Structure formats: structure tokens, C-alpha cells
Structure 1
């Protein structure tokens, strides 16, 4: 029984009926969580019916949670989504299942999991996904804010990689505002590397600066549009901008066009180096001004 799932997937149980293989697989899965159970002495029809019923209920919740993540969490407020929101809140443990599956989808990339290091991504995603869940059931359009802090060179780029992947799972764009043009180009390269194995495609990770790629104004704007394509066209995108007036304006235009196609569309704004405006007198207020 412990090996039946692997044997079934390898085609070694083809001589058995499909329903029997399914029942064996369900029992095998249940045994992994109940290793001390005396299956020969105690597994009767009543016991198996309870196992099967619980399995079917779990499978139904898994399917619903997956659909809720893909269609509701990243979508603007609407009445249909409100019904799903109320259902999630009314079924014990269903929100936890949504959070669990959203976390798993965000962190499915081995590359990303390796590079996040000691960052507590599970707790971070738990809080972030709950905020998005709250947004499904509320007409309140006010932004939701929280802070992630760390020492210099402590691997904070990986945090942005997690946020980028989460945006991809939810199908919404992410904007990162960072300090300086050169820093934005460097961060864009890091985020491109962190995207391996995530839902975000490399061609939708765009740096607003023209310093490196030297393309025309029209070509750059087209790339920015791709970063903001949103659900239906991509799995979300990433735009990296420096703290200059011109680049902030590029991001604002991108948001406006995105919202024209997706009224009320959600997006994530990450303010990197958020304390930079206070570090020296000559830079004070620069981000606020732009």
C-alpha cells in the first residue's frame, strides 16, 4: 500500500480496475498520516467510507482554493467574487487551504527556494495573501502596506523575487521603485535570474531605464506595456524604476493604461531602499517630490 501510488504512476497496476487503483491510492495517502493504524485488523467498509469521504472533501477544497487563487485574489472587487469570499470564510479551514496553496504556487521554483535563504517567506506570504483575500470582500480601495526590513547585503533581493512570483501567481503587475538608475539595472538582472521556474516570464521583467538596452522611446514604452499586461495576457509582469521623475512618470502611464484595460485592476508597489530619502541631506525628499 505504501508504494501503490508510485507503482500506479509507473503503469504497474494496469491489470486492476481504475476504481480499485483509486481506492488503493486514497488508502495509501491516508496511511502516511496514520502510520500506527492496524490496517489488517481494523480497516472495514465503515472506516474506508470515512477515509473516502474526507479525501473527496479535501479534493473539492483543493480545487476550489486553486480556482479562488487564480480568479479572485488578484481581481478587482465584484459581486461574484464576493460570493466566493463569503464561502471561503464560512468553511472551516478553507482559507488556510487557500494560503497553503498560494504559498506553494509562489515558491514552487527550486531556484527561488534556494536563493531566499533564511527569509521567512511562509510567514510573509501568509500575511500578504490574507491581505489580498480581504480585498476580495471589501470595496475599500485603500492600499495595504507592510514593511520588510533587513541589513545591507542581507539578501533582500530574494524578498522581491518572492513578491514578483506572488504577483505572477495572482496575475497582477509589480512595480519596484529603487534608488538610482544603475541600481535599477542591477536589480532588474537579479529579478530576471530569480524568475526561473516562477509564473513570471523573463520578457515581462522590464527596467524603465534606457541606459543599457539603448532602444527607441516607442520600443521602451512597448516593453513597459508588456510588464503591465495583467491577467489574461500574461501571468503578471515586473517593472523596475529608478527614483527619477521621468521613470516614475513611465510607471504612472503604465498604471493608467493597465487600469483602462482592467478597471480597478490591482498591482503591487515595492519601495526598495525606502529610507534612502532620509540618508543624506541632498537626497532628502527626492522620492516624495517625484
Structure 2
């Protein structure tokens, strides 16, 4: 499990279950958890989303509670860590890391492309610069039912032949946001967390209807395809979301290790873009895309028994094991 040494700031929020299986919102400080459902100062919330609904008034109370050693703190060990929040909406982003897009574009060049690899990389990089300056993010919607806990097993469906990993920084909405500009968008982000946005690569494009394009429903939304957490780290503790390291290890071997500096569109531009169409609500998640180093890049996709360790600077760590359906 994650420890306080891996977290930015003095505390974080999570959702936990005790031995009886009853979930509760918890304040995490070091290796201890305080049941916020029993804290009148925090409004006796039933869920972390209740806290996000009143984030501006809740945050000062959380600061005070984190410093109160007389409370009935419980050891983190022995509690089950559940997904830290249940969002109403899940907004996902594609093709948002410069190096990742350059790698993919060069790898999938037409056989009759006469450019050298260096020339192709330079051309695609220039295109990415123009896109960052003039274009808009590429976003789509996911289903909250795909979310699972940060330490839960991930079941690989029998129909999925090319399961892949995509570790991502996630912005968690606090204040509702509708048609906000980039300059004000971060004021609507309450916290950050981690997601592994798994993908069934063989189903990204519809072979029966190529003119339709991508099929995000089938390739992204199987149960458990979005391990989330472990915690919600308040945005006030994250100095710069554009300077965090995103790292995924597969069976101990580093596969992804990139800074969010490589994002084409930063968190503010993505939250702003999503809010132009939909009203973002407290607890909603904005996934910011995944850096280079996916399984398709390495020619090594997920298998039964694989263990993924994912970290983002200051946000803790998640560990999930892949289990073939039916095993």
C-alpha cells in the first residue's frame, strides 16, 4: 500500500471498508485513517463525494482534524482501500502526450513514406507543436462502472485478446464547472488521483464499420478496467500538475516513466474543454491521457498473473494483479 512518504501534503482522502464490509470516507494521515462519517466537523459525510460537494468549507475542517491526535484514528493496515470516489461522469483523454503521439505516428508510417525516422519524428513533433498552439484536446466519455480499487485484481475478459495499460494523472472536480476558461479551470479542481485506463486494443477500431471509427465503449469499459486511487490528494498540496512523474512497472520492469510536462494540453485546458460541452460536477473525473510506454509500444500486452505498479509523484501508488476470467 501507499505510505505517507509517497503523498504530497499532510493528509489525503480515501474510501475504506472495515472487517464488516461497510464503506466509509476516511482522512489519511501517515499510516492512520480517521472515519470522517463520525466527524461532525466534516459534516458526517457518507461518501467522499459529499465532502467534494462542500469542498471550500470542508477543506479547513480537514486540516484541523488531521492535526487532532485525540481522535479515534485507525491503522490503515487491515482496512480495504476502495476507489476513493464514485464519480457521476468520467471524461477521458487520448493522444495527449507528445512523445507518445510521435512514437505512434512514426511506427505507423505508410510503407511508401520515403522520410528517414529522424525526418518523420521532426515532422510529427512540429505537428504536435502546432496542435498544442491551435487545436483542441481529444476527449471521450467512459463509464463509472469500469472503476475498481487501487489494489483489486483486474479480470481480463475472455474476449479480450490485447489488454493494455495506460497510467494517467486524474483531476477530480470540486466546484461545478460549465463553460469555464483555462485561466479559471484549476479553481474547479479539488484534488488529484491516479487511474490506470486499461484498453482492449483489438477493439479500438470497428472492423465491421471502419467508417464509424473508434469504439470506446467496448475497448475501455469492461468491469475493473479503470483501477482508481489510492487516494484523493487535495489540489492545494500539488504544486504543479504539469510537473509530475507518471511511472508504471510491469512485474517490476519500468514500462512508462514520463513527466506530465510532456502533455500537449495541460489540466487547465482539458477541464476547460470538457466544460464547454458538459457541466462537470463534484466528484467527476478528468483523465489526462497516458504517456509513452504502453504495451503496444513494447510488443508485450497484459497476461494472466501480471502485476502492475503505478505511481504519480505525490499521489501514492497502486498495485493491481491481472487474472484471466474464469481462473
The alignment's TM-score, normalised by the length of structure 2, stands at 0.24
Structure whose CA Rg is larger: 1
**Higher relative contact order (Cα pairs below 8 Å, separated by 6+ residues):** 2
Higher helix proportion (structure 1 or 2): 1
The alignment's TM-score, normalised by the length of structure 1, stands at 0.26
Higher strand proportion (structure 1 or 2): 2
